[in-house]
Amino acid sequence: MTIIVHHLENSRSQRVLWLLEELGLPYAVERYRRNKATMLAPPELKAVHPLGKSPVIEDDGLVVAETGAIIEYLVDKADGRLGPPAHRGSALHYRHFLHYAEGSLMPPLLVKLVLGRIPLLGKAAQKKLQPMIDVHLDYVEAQLGERPWFAGDAFTAADVMMSFPLEAARSRGGLDASRPATIAWLDKIHARPAYQAALAKGGPYAYA
């Protein structure tokens, strides 16, 4: 049965399309546009899931929300492909970055985005927040300086999860050429055929 992805433009759900392409699982895309004034998801998404947010997938009568949960669901559906490596240390890296992406790295980037929309005081607060973001960016740079992918020597779903916060960081969080390992990793994922195929199916995405 074809998986339905409820996909919001310029959002975390781009990662779900990318993973589906990497895994070769059949899917269809239901696209949603943001409100131009508020940049929020449209109310139609609440008919799919009570939170009214994206990504959400439907598969064989199941509705799955939250990017991390969806990623784990799809890896399991694909019999573990792109899941945790067999090596214990690499498996720990995999689980860490699968949850670190949204649990630790994304929150300060989201706060900075919100503060940027507040005149005067918001910009001052953004400057105070940047050192917190820099701690994370330095950590990521050090990790990618040790190995080519977040879990180890092979590409995994952990790399898919880490894509959106690092793309957001490149756009608005201070990630630049001063952290070459991270920039090289971004260039590497953007060149993957599955990533490009997902962009073609997903529509507008400002961070690639």
Tens digit of each residue's pLDDT (9 = 90 or more) over 45-58:
999 999 988 999 99
Q: Are 13 and 208 in contact (CB under 8 A)?
A: no
- At 130 the pLDDT is 93
* pLDDT > 90? residue 39: no
pLDDT digits (tens, 9 = 90+) for 89-109: 999 999 999 999 999 999 999
* pLDDT > 90? residue 207: no
Band of the pLDDT at 123, cuts 50, 70, 90? confident
- At 66 the pLDDT is 96
Mean pLDDT for all residues in the chain? 93
CB within 8 Å of 47: residues ≥ 6 apart: none
* pLDDT > 70? residue 208: no
Question: Residue written as tokens 């300060």?
Answer: 108
Domains parsed from the chain with CATH numbers:
3-82+194-202 (3.40.30.10), 88-192 (1.20.1050.10)
Band of the pLDDT at 113, cuts 50, 70, 90? confident
- The pTM of the full predicted model, rounded to 2 decimals, is 0.93
User: Which parts of the chain fold into alpha helices (H)?
Assistant: 14-23, 67-77, 88-100, 106-115, 121-146, 157-172, 180-190, 193-202
Backbone angles phi, psi at 93, to 5 degrees: -60, -45
Angstrom distance (rounded) from CA 184 to CA 163 = 12
Of the ranges 75-79, 112-116, 167-171, 174-178, which one carries the lowest mean pLDDT score? 112-116
Angstrom distance (rounded) from CA 72 to CA 7 = 18
- At 203 the pLDDT is 86
